[in-house]
Structure 1
Amino acid sequence: MAMTYRCALVTGASKGIGAAIAASLVEEGLTVYALGRSESSLAELATRLGERFRPLVADVRDFTGIARALGGVEIDVLVNNAGGISTVRPLYEQTAEETDEVIALNLTAPLQLIRMLLPGMIERKRGHIFNLTSTAASAVFPCTTGYGAAKAGLSQAGRILRYDLAGTGVRLTEIAPGRVETQFYLQAFDGDAAGLQERMYAHQRPLHPEDVAAVLLGALKLPFNADVAEIIVSPTDQAVGGHVYPSATPST
């Protein structure tokens, strides 16, 4: 299907999955408003991707500031990708601030952006919302209580919204990736990049940001009467819960 959407807002677009999604959308001819907190990273991407990549330096939780910065731009595609996890510890060992932050980033902020942009999409009878959740929304990963709860909440919000949006022409797709090789967990690993690589990515093949972008683009390019509601994208080497299950060794 020829791409008829014109403008997208991608959150967390300065690196990782968000940057890969933004690049894919630019290649399809969309103007992409790329939201992130790193001005230098966004500027570097703008140099590479050209004038259809529009940097928007902001905190995803500042939805009123984001609305002012967009200035009435008609957003056809919203990609709620930004999120974070500051610590991987049991809930009872976290501070109140750490728990508040993970809920605000992964649940409250995307819901506020959806609330803000949906009226225009409904009025134009054109739009597609993508919520990037995680396999942590439905599987048990130790020490991720707040993160898993926030992603599960966003997942359930999407199911309810599909009922509310039926007949409006607006589509909503949840993409739940498994382990993706990015710097997402770097803060939780106290900035230890080598340790992160060893524990998370060195011993089983992870997904890459471009894999997730390809899945999103496939859903976006379906005919308008078709909506892929929920997609789980898992590394071939990862099973639910993050574990690898080797073949049984024959007894001797």
Structure 2
Amino acid sequence: MKTAFITGATSGIGRATAIALAEAGYEVFATGRNAAALDGLRDEHPSIRPLAADVSDREAMESIVADLRVDVLINNAGVMPPLGNFADMALADIDTALEVNVSSAILLTRAVIGGMRSRGSGHVLFVGSSAAHAAFPNVAVYSATKAAIAGFAAALRADVSPFGIRVTEIVPGRVETQLYKSILDADARAAMYAGGVALQPEDVAAMIVAVLSLPERADVTRFDIMPTRPTTPSGSMQGSKS
């Protein structure tokens, strides 16, 4: 049975992917800070193994993966700093975004890539963002972190592809997740997802499973997955009369 290690698995894309991979026959190591949510995942599917940990705790993450065989690593954990002009950002919010979105993903990848190289196979996936590839206001640091991941994924692929390791950058558009929960009130979140046109976490999870199902000779280096219908900045469908 192949194994998959997923960070940020307590909600959103991480949770949906953990379930989808378990249903596809993987043994899934699901990490996150919410132990109760992880236990719920295990109750939902017995092949999911919950591992409560904070991705920014380097020693804890290295200890967890030290004795694991990881065939697929999905770097999904991420944070969205409070929206606003960069000049007004708190230094603590900048530090947190860099630590969780960039440093933690790079260091965890470093912890497992050696085993993949010695086996001559493996797949590393990074959940990026369309914000890495287009300019939007009020998300300068978030965009920078996701652009850093895009660059790292491309360079990592150049390093490890000779050893049979695949690397994929996942570039979602607007997905209805909990990412904005702590920085937007309920009304603002409702406006963002109005019209029911946003992607759902299960959509991204289905694409991840499809990419992983390809033969090892094929590497989807990057896939963009966007809502079919465009949305306005407030989230409502363009052209809607409602």
Q: Same fold (TM over 0.5)?
A: yes
Q: Which runs of 5+ in 1 are unaligned?
A: 248-252
Using the TM superposition, give the Cα deviation of residue 204 of structure 1 relative to its aligned residue in structure 2, in angstroms. Answer: 5.4
What code does the residue aligned with 2:20 have?
Answer: S
1:241 CA drift (Å): 8.3
**SS of equivalent residue, structure 2 residue 195:** coil
Tell me, yes or no, if structure 1 residue 42 matches structure 2 residue 38. Answer: yes
Measure the CA separation in 1 of the matches of 2:237 and 2:186.
26
Counterpart of 1:72 in structure 2 is 67
Residue matched to 1:10: 6
Q: How does 1:95-174 map to 2 (within 5 A)?
A: 95-174=90-169
1:103 offset after TM fit, Å? Answer: 1.1
Residue among 70, 74, 89 paired with 1:94:
89
- Root-mean-square deviation (CA), in Å? 1.9
Correspondence 1:212-227 to 2 at 5 A: 212-227=204-219
Moved over 2 A (4+): 192-195, 238-247
Corresponding position of 2:188: 195
- Return the alpha-carbon distance in structure 1 between the equivalents of residues 60 and 170 of structure 2: 27
SS of 2:115's partner is helix
Question: How far 1:71 moved relative to its partner?
Answer: 4.2
Question: What amino acid does structure 1 have at the position aligned with 2:25?
Answer: G
Moved more, 62-71 or 91-100: 62-71
Structure 2 counterpart SS, 1:206? coil
Letter in 2 for 1:44: G
Q: Percent identity at matched positions?
A: 36
Read off the aligned partner of 1:20 and give its amino acid letter: A
TM-score of the pair, normalised by structure 2:
0.93
2-structure distance, mates of 1:211, 1:156: 25
Match of 1:184 in 2: 179
- What is the CA deviation profile of residues 146-185 of structure 1, one whole-angstrom value per residue up to 9, with x for unaligned ones? 0000000100111111111122011000110000011111
For residues 240 and 36 of structure 1, do their structure 2 counterparts lie closer, same or farther at Cα, with a shift above 3 Å needed? Answer: same
**C-alpha separation in 1, matches of 2:173 and 2:232:** 9
Name the aligned partner's letter for residue 41 of structure 1: A
| 1:231 matches 2:227 | no
Q: TM-score, normalised by structure 1?
A: 0.90
* Partner SS state of residue 50, structure 2: strand
